[in-house]
Amino acid sequence: MRKNSVKNTRINGEVQRVLAEMIRGEIKDPRIAPMTSVVAVEVAPDLKTCKAWISVLGDEKAQTDTLAGLESAEGYIRGQLARTINLRNTPQIQFIMDQSIAYGVNMSKRIEEVLASDRKAAGMNMRNEDEEDQQ
Distance between CA atoms of residues 35 and 57, nearest Å: 5
**85-123 confidence digits (pLDDT tens):** 888 888 999 999 987 777 788 889 999 999 988 888 877
Q: For residue 132, what pLDDT is reported?
A: 61
Distance between CA atoms of residues 96 and 51, nearest Å: 7
Confidence of residue 56 (pLDDT cuts 50, 70, 90): confident
What is the pTM (predicted TM-score) of this model?
0.72
Q: For residue 29, what pLDDT is reported?
A: 84
DSSP track, 68-112? HHHHHTHHHHHHHHHHHS--SSPPEEEEEE--HHHHHHHHHHHHH
**24-34 confidence digits (pLDDT tens):** 888 888 888 88
Q: For residue 15, what pLDDT is reported?
A: 93
